[in-house]
Structure 1
Amino acid sequence: MHACLLIPEIVKLIFANVHVYGTDGFSVVHFIDLYSKLATRRYVAGRHSLAALSRVCRSFKDIALDALWVKLDSLEPLFACLPRDLWTMTDDRKLLIQRPVTEADWSVFEQYASRVRILGNADFDLFGGIDAEFVYAMIGFCSQSLLVPNLRILCCKGYRYPDSFPFVYALPPGSQPHSSVCVIEFVGPHSMCPRVGELALCGLTHLRKATLIFPSREDLSWLSRIVGLQELRIVLAGILPPLRSQFRTSYLEKLVIHSFNLTTSGSSVAGWVVPCRQLQLIPTFTESAVAVERVLRMLDQRLLFDVLEHILIDVVFEPNHIDKAFTLQTFTPLMRFSSLKEVDLSTFCMSLLDDDDLGSIVKSWPRLECLYLGTKCFWQTPPKITFRGLVTLLATCPDLRNLGLVFDTTKVASPTAERLGHGVCNTNITHFHVGCSPIEQPLEVAVLLSVVLPCLGEFLVESWLVKPGGESGPDRQARNAKWGEVLEHISHTLIKQESNATVKTRDVTS
C-alpha cells in the first residue's frame, strides 16, 4: 500500500469524492438535471465502491463506512441492515418485523446509525417502506439512546409516525449548540397532522436552522416558542390572503421569506417583531416600485431594525414596465439603516436613478461592502447614472468589495470626467457586474476605470435568461466583447505601471 494511503485525512478526502462522483470521476451533481438516470447509476456505483472498500482493508473500514452512511434518503437502509431473520419484505417492498428486537440487533443498528449526519430527501418518505410496528419496536428498545444520535441535517416530507419523530432528530444529551447544528426542513406540510410540526420543533432545544413550508393561511404564532433559532426560511404557499400571526423573537441571524408577492409577505408579518441581521424576500410575482416602497414601510419595526446588515429582494421582473423601476423614493425606507453592509437588488430596474440619487442613497450606507443594483436583466430604458455616480459611490463606501451597477459609459471622453476619478481608488473590487451598461469606447472607459478600480479582473454583463422566452438583451455579445476590450486595456496598463515601477526601483538601487 502506498504511504499516502496510511494518512487518514487523505483517505477521507478520496472516499468522500468516491461517494459524490462514483467510480469514473464524473460528478453526479453535474448530471443531475440533464442526465438523471446516468447520474443515479454513477451515484450507486460510488456507494458500491465504498462498500467494497470497507471490506478490502481494515484501515479503510471505518472511513469508508462513514462516507457510505453519512447521507440517507430514508431510514429504510438502517432497518434493512438488521439481521435477516428479524424482518421480512412483502411484495410491495414493505419491511415487517418477525420477532422481538434484541441487544445484538440494536448493536448492529447503532453501528451504522451513529454514522448518519444527513437524513431525508424531499422526494422520499422519511420512513420509507418500514411498517409502524417495526419502527415502534426499535424505538422502544432504544429508550435510553437515539436512533440517529449524530444527525445534523434532516429533511422531512411529512411523516407517518409523529410520536416517533423526536427519536429521529434529537441530539445527544449535553451537546453544545455550536457543535450541534440541526436543520429541519418540512416539505409538503399538508400531509401532516396540523400540530405535529409545532410539537416537534418547539421541543428541539438545539434547533438552529429551519425551513418550513406552509399555506398562506397558516397561523405561525407558535414559531415564537422555538428557542435558539438562528436561521429561518419560510415558504408561504398559495394565493389566499395571509393570516395575521404574532411571531416575536429577540434576534435571527437570517430570515428568508418566499411568497406570492411582496404584499403577501408584508401582510403575513404584520404582527411580527423579528429583528434579523440578514433579510431575504423572494416573491414569485412582480409588483410596481410603489408597491415595493409600501411593503418596505410595512416591514419597519417588524423585520427591519437597526441590526439589519444584509438585505436581498429577488424577483423575476418584466423589463418593459417602467412603473417597476426604482426611484429615490423607493429607497427611502431603507436609507435609515446605516449599518447595512450588503444590498442586493439586482433584479430591479434602476434606470430612473441619476448620479445625485445614487449619491444620496449610498451616503446613508457608509459601511457598505456589497452592492448590486439592476444588473441581472436588460432594461430598455437607458441608465441615467454616469461615471460621476460611480466615483461618488466608491468615495462614499471605501469598504466596498463586491459591486454590480448599471451606468452609462458613453459619456466618459472629456477632461472633466478624467478629473473626477483623481483621489478615489478601490483595490478591493476585482469583479464588476456591469449588467446592460451601454459602452461605445472601450479604451476611454478603461482609462477611467483603471484609476478608480485598478485591480479589476473580470466584467460581467446581464444574464442570458432575462425574459420569459429566454431571450437575452439586444447586442449582448457585442457589449460583452467591448467589456472584454476594457479588461485587456486595464491589464496592459497595470503591466506597464509595474514595469515602470521596477525600472525606477533599479535606478534608485544603482
Structure 2
Amino acid sequence: MHRWIPDVAQLIFEFIYDPIRTEEDHEGRATVVALARTCRAFKDPALDVLWAQLHSLDALVICSGGKRDVNNKLIWDRPLYDADWRILAQYGKRVRTLTISSQSDTWDISTMQLLSCFPVPGPILPNLTKLNWLSNREDFFPFLRRFCGPNLMALSLSPISWSVHKCAAIASLALSCPLLKEFKCVDAEDSSMQAISEAVVGWNSLQVLQVGPLDEQALTHAGSLQTLQDLRFSISDLKSPVLEFCSPRAAVEISIPSPSSFCAFIENIHFSTQRLHLFCERYDGMFPELFFSRLKACFRNPGELLELGLVKTIPHNRSIILSSIMLHPLVSFKGLNYLNLADLCTSDIDDAFLEELAVSCPNLQDLYLGDKGRWLIAPQATFDGVVSLLKHCHQLFSLGIFFSATFKNDFTDVLRADAINLNIKNFSVGASPIIDPMTVTVVLSSLIPNANRINHCAHGSAELQDMVERWDTVNTWFKSFVSARKHSWEQGWLEGKAVLERNVTV
C-alpha cells in the first residue's frame, strides 16, 4: 500500500464530510463511517475526519462504556478498566476541536470527575488545538486545565458569572498551554480582570486577544507582542496608564464607557497600530471638544493609521454634534482608508472641511459621517462637499454622509466629469434633507452610476416622513436614470463613430 494513500484518502473524506463546515451533515458523516469499515487503508484517515471536531463529550463517554441514565444524563455506571482507557486514548488523540456547550446539563459531575482520572499524564485530548469552553457550570471549571495541553492554539471562554474557583482556573492557564495563539473571553468583567491579566502575561505568541478589562501589566505585555493581529479589551477604572502599543499589524478594539473616559485613559498612551476601533456605551452630555486632538497626539506617526471608527453600542439618538474644528485633526491621518463616525451627528461640518479631508486622505475607501442617526438638525454640508469627496477619493467604495441634498444654484454645477465615481456600490444619506427628488436623481445617477441603491433612514418621526418618501422616490427612479444615461452615451458614441468613419472615407 502506497504511503500517500492515507493522505489522499483523508482529503477526500474531508470533502465528503467536513465537521468544521457543518455539524449537521448526517449523510456525509454516514458515508465516511461506511468508508472507515471498507478497508484498513481507509480506517485511520476516516476516523481522523470523524473525530476531528466534537460538539460535546458524549461520543467519548458512550464509546467507552457510558450510557444515559433515567434523567438523560451521561454517566459511567461501572469502573473504567484498561480496555476502556485504551479506547478513550485511541479516539481522544484524533480530536482537534472540542466545544463544551452552554447546554451541558446533560452531564453528571461524576462523569467529568471520572474522565479527569485518565491514567496517561498530560491532557485528556493531547492533540487538541481549539477549545470552546462555553459552559458556565461552577463544578466544571476546575477540570478546564485537563483539556488545555501544549498543542492548544485557540481557547474561548464565556462564563456568565465569576467566582473564586473560575478565576483560579483561568489564572494558571498559561502553564498548561504556553503556545496559545488565540484567547477569547469577551464577557469578562471587572472581577475577573486580575485572573485574566495573569494568564495573558504568560502567553508570548498571542495573535488574537479578545477580553474585557485588563490591568496595566497585561496591557503592556499585549501591546509589545509583535505577533499580535487582533486586540480587543475594555477600560473601566484604569486611569492614564503609561502604555505603548507597538504592534503595527494589530487591529485594536477598545470598549469605552464614554468619550470623556477615553480621553482620561489615553493621556500617557502611544499607538503605533494601523487599525483603531472604539466602541462607546454612551455619549456624555458634552462631547469632548479636544477628543480628536488628543487622539492624534497618541500617534507617533498619524499618517500610518489606516482605519478609525467610533461606534456606540447602546442605541440612542442624543445629538452629539461634531463641528469642522473638532474633526480637523483627522486630516493628519493621511493614510486613512476607513473612517466610521456614522453614529455621531456631523451637522456642523461644512464643505470646506470635506474638501480638505478629501485632499488630505485620498486613499479613503469607506467613509461614514453621521448617516446612522435620525437627526432633525439642518446640516451645513451640501452636494459641493460630496463632489469634493468623489473628485479626490477615487478609491471610495462605500460612502455614508449626512448632508443637505438641495441646490442653491443650478444643479449642473455639481455635474463634473472629474467627480464621477464608478467604484461606489454603497451610498447612504441617513436623514439628509431633500426637496426635489427628480433633480437629486439626475445628479446621483451621473456621479455614482454603479451604486446599488441610495440607503436612507427607513423609519423616523413625523418630521422626517417627507424626507423618507422623497428618498424612496429617488430609489424608484435611480436605476432607470442610469440605464437611460448609459443608452444615450452608447448611442452618441455610435453616431460619432459613424461620422468619423464617413470623414475618413471622404
Q: What range is the shorter-chain TM-score in?
A: 0.7 to 0.9
Q: What's the CA shift for 1:147?
A: 0.9
What is the aligned counterpart of 2:186 among 203, 212, 227? 212
CA distance in 2, matches of 1:328, 1:394: 19
1:479 is matched with which residue?
471
The reply on whether 1:242 has 2:222 as its aligned counterpart is no
What is the aligned counterpart of 2:132 among 133, 149, 154? 154
CA distance in 2, matches of 1:333, 1:83: 65
Query: Quick check: 2:251–2:273 contact (8 Å CA) kept in 1?
Result: yes
Q: What's the CA shift for 1:163?
A: 6.4
Specify the SS of the correspondent of 2:186. Answer: strand
Query: Quick check: 1:317–1:347 contact (8 Å CA) kept in 2?
Result: no
2:114 is matched with which residue?
134
How many residues are treated as equivalent by the alignment? Answer: 462
Q: 1:198 to 1:435 in 2, by over 3 A?
A: same
Q: 1:224 to 1:12 in 2, by over 3 A?
A: closer
Q: 1:66 to 1:194 in 2, by over 3 A?
A: same
CA distance in 2, matches of 1:303, 1:231: 24
The reply on whether 1:391 has 2:387 as its aligned counterpart is yes
CA distance in 2, matches of 1:303, 1:71: 45
1:82 is matched with which residue?
63
Query: Structure 2: which 5+ residue stretches go unaligned?
Result: 1-7, 215-233
Query: Quick check: 1:207–1:229 contact (8 Å CA) kept in 2?
Result: yes
Query: Quick check: 1:425–1:451 contact (8 Å CA) kept in 2?
Result: yes
Q: What's the CA shift for 1:215?
A: 2.6
What is the aligned counterpart of 2:147 among 128, 147, 168? 168
Specify the SS of the correspondent of 1:392. Answer: helix
The reply on whether 1:312 has 2:309 as its aligned counterpart is yes
1:25 is matched with which residue?
none
Q: What's the CA shift for 1:61?
A: 8.9
CA distance in 1, matches of 2:486, 2:380: 30
CA distance in 2, matches of 1:270, 1:186: 32
AA paired with 2:127? P
CA distance in 2, matches of 1:95, 1:318: 50
1:226 is matched with which residue?
203
1:417 is matched with which residue?
413
Moved more, 477-486 or 366-375: 477-486
Q: 1:135 to 1:280 in 2, by over 3 A?
A: farther
- TM-score, scaled relative to structure 1: 0.73
Query: Quick check: 1:213–1:235 contact (8 Å CA) kept in 2?
Result: yes
Query: Quick check: 2:98–2:132 contact (8 Å CA) kept in 1?
Result: yes
Specify the SS of the correspondent of 1:449. Answer: helix
AA paired with 1:458? R
Give the alignment's Cα RMSD to 1 decimal: 4.5
AA paired with 1:496? S
AA paired with 2:113? E
2:167 is matched with which residue?
194
Q: What's the CA shift for 1:439?
A: 2.8
Specify the SS of the correspondent of 1:371. Answer: strand
CA distance in 2, matches of 1:65, 1:412: 73
Q: What's the CA shift for 1:389?
A: 0.3
Aligned pairs for 1:277-316 (under 5 A) are 277-288=274-285, 290-291=287-288, 293-294=290-291, 297=294, 300-301=297-298, 307-315=304-312, 316=314
Specify the SS of the correspondent of 1:351. Answer: strand
The reply on whether 1:460 has 2:455 as its aligned counterpart is yes
The reply on whether 1:117 has 2:97 as its aligned counterpart is yes
Per-residue CA distance 1:62-109 (angstroms, 9 max, x = gap): 9997787665454x324323321x677585826357334536644455
Q: 1:331 to 1:163 in 2, by over 3 A?
A: same
Q: 1:91 to 1:454 in 2, by over 3 A?
A: closer
The reply on whether 1:99 has 2:79 as its aligned counterpart is yes
Q: What's the CA shift for 1:385?
A: 1.2
The reply on whether 1:489 has 2:481 as its aligned counterpart is yes
Query: Quick check: 1:325–1:350 contact (8 Å CA) kept in 2?
Result: yes
CA distance in 2, matches of 1:400, 1:105: 60
Q: What's the CA shift for 1:489?
A: 0.9
AA paired with 2:169? V
CA distance in 1, matches of 2:256, 2:478: 40
Q: 1:221 to 1:302 in 2, by over 3 A?
A: farther
The reply on whether 1:366 has 2:362 as its aligned counterpart is yes
Q: Greater Rg, structure 1 or structure 2?
A: 2
Q: 1:266 to 1:194 in 2, by over 3 A?
A: farther
Q: 1:221 to 1:65 in 2, by over 3 A?
A: closer
Q: 1:265 to 1:240 in 2, by over 3 A?
A: closer
CA distance in 2, matches of 1:181, 1:412: 61
Q: What's the CA shift for 1:168?
A: 2.6
CA distance in 1, matches of 2:263, 2:106: 34
Q: 1:156 to 1:55 in 2, by over 3 A?
A: closer
Aligned pairs for 1:21-60 (under 5 A) are 46=24, 49=27, 52-55=30-33
CA distance in 2, matches of 1:295, 1:221: 29
Q: 1:249 to 1:379 in 2, by over 3 A?
A: closer
Specify the SS of the correspondent of 1:111. Answer: helix
Q: 1:102 to 1:213 in 2, by over 3 A?
A: same
Specify the SS of the correspondent of 1:367. Answer: coil
2:221 is matched with which residue?
none
CA distance in 2, matches of 1:453, 1:240: 41
CA distance in 1, matches of 2:491, 2:81: 77
Query: Quick check: 1:362–1:397 contact (8 Å CA) kept in 2?
Result: yes
Per-residue CA distance 1:294-345 (angstroms, 9 max, x = gap): 38726853899654321222114543x44x0211233245443222211111
Q: What's the CA shift for 1:387?
A: 1.2
Query: Quick check: 2:277–2:308 contact (8 Å CA) kept in 1?
Result: yes
Per-residue CA distance 1:122-143 (angstroms, 9 max, x = gap): 56589875644323223x4263
